[in-house]
Amino acid sequence: MSLIETNQHDNHAESKSSPLGGVRGGCISIKSPATVANLVCGFDILGMALNEPYDIMKLKLIDEPNVMIINKDNYNLPTEAEKNVAGVVLLEIIKHNNNSFGFEVEIEKRIKPGSGLGSSSASAAGAAVGANLLLNNQYNNDELVQFAMFGEKLASGVKHADNIAPCILGGVTLIRSIHPLDIVQLNSPSLFVTVVHPQIEVKTSDARQILRKEVLLKDAIKQWGNIAGLVAGFEKGDTGLIGRSLEDVIIEPVRSILIPGFDAIKSQSKEAGALGGGISGSGPSIFMLSEDETTAKKAEAIMQQTFTELEIEYKTYVTKIAEKGVQLIS
């Protein structure tokens, strides 16, 4: 295919074609998971998929080369395809197939837009994987990521893959490079994830705006020591090393200012036994990793208490790192 600059490597993320199978012509339901991008020190390069929350999407092929969008939630997202994250992804796929068909898509968003939990990526990745299932898996995962990034572009102005990749592949993923695309699936230990989404607004564009364009070399060195430690920790399944490496000296000190309660939640959760954690994506959600459910629930209680005292509405999840990305339900 001429579409995109993909890297053709042997040991790349493999196509999911075989396990899911193709269902051309039918109607399918999928679930598309929430994702945590950055993973503290891995700004713009690391991400992981969660078991919960997830969006539900139903897709079917139609004859006309259009995208019909039906929203099954109360978020009032645009139904015009060009303005909808799932819509632009499907339009690209239609265009790439010479406008020989179109899609009808029902979207039930359960991942709240603006939560920092990869809501737009879930729509974009769900659209790409769903369409591919209807097309007998004609695209490999790298190509699906490329299509889904059109949705990220619409949502945030930038073609990121740090939510898209784990949403499609599951587990913990590394985006070594965007140009050319080089996605590496990391080993992901069976960890619990506690998430709190305080109902405040932090726009991705604002969260990016407040970052300095230059960083001190000595801080960058600290950061890449931690990133290297985190990747080694995941690969070795060494939870102690993961915990010690969950430190961000560059982004978090700036962005955490936008999230009331952040410092208290982080320090108290670690005291309660959590391995560590930080801002999910560009916030405002906060996540903590734990080795067991008891600790994960202690972190949840700390989050609940903190935002209750701050009189900020919130929603919490105690879940796990998802082994799989977008999945066929029926």
Residues designated as active site: 152, 204
205 C-beta neighbours (distance < 10 Å), count: 11
Please, which residue, 3 or 221, has the CB nearer to its own copies?
221
What's the chain's Rg over C-alpha atoms? 19
Residue 153 touches its own copies, criterion: CB under 8 A: no
* Tokens 């490329």 -> residue: 146
Q: Show contacts with its own copies in window 184-203 (CB under 8 A).
A: 184, 186
Residue 207 touches its own copies, criterion: CB under 8 A: no
Range 109-146 burial, b when 16+ CB lie within 10 A, else e: bebbbbbbbbbbbbbbbbbbbbbbbbbebbbbbbbbbb
Shortest distance, position 76 Cβ to its own copies, whole Å: 34
Residue 44 touches its own copies, criterion: CB under 8 A: yes
Rounded distance between C-alpha atoms, residue 179 and residue 295, angstroms: 40
Residue 210 touches its own copies, criterion: CB under 8 A: no
Applying CB under 8 A, among 228, 267, 293, 309 the residue interacting with its own copies is 228
Number of chain positions touching its own copies (CB under 8 A):
46
Closest residue by Cα to residue 106 from 190, 27, 8: 27
Residue type present at position 269 = S
Burial environment of residue 223 by CB neighbours within 10 A (0 to 12, 13 to 18, 19 or more):
buried
Applying CB under 8 A, among 11, 76, 100, 209 the residue interacting with its own copies is 11
Please, which residue, 160 or 197, has the CB nearer to its own copies?
160
Residue 223 touches its own copies, criterion: CB under 8 A: yes
Applying CB under 8 A, among 70, 221, 257, 329 the residue interacting with its own copies is 221
Rounded distance between C-alpha atoms, residue 114 and residue 274, angstroms: 25
Residue type present at position 155 = A
**Residue 232, Ramachandran bin (φ over 0: left; ψ between -120 and 50: alpha; else beta):** alpha
Closest residue by Cα to residue 67 from 107, 122, 34: 107
Shortest distance, position 8 Cβ to its own copies, whole Å: 11
Residue 182 touches its own copies, criterion: CB under 8 A: yes
* Contacts with its own copies, 241-280, as mask; x by CB under 8 A: x--xx----x------------------------------
**Residue 171, Ramachandran bin (φ over 0: left; ψ between -120 and 50: alpha; else beta):** left
Applying CB under 8 A, among 42, 130, 171, 261 the residue interacting with its own copies is 42
Shortest distance, position 209 Cβ to its own copies, whole Å: 12
Q: Which residues bind its own copies (CB under 8 A)?
A: 7, 9-11, 41-46, 174-177, 182, 184, 186, 211-218, 220-232, 235-236, 238, 240-241, 244-245, 250
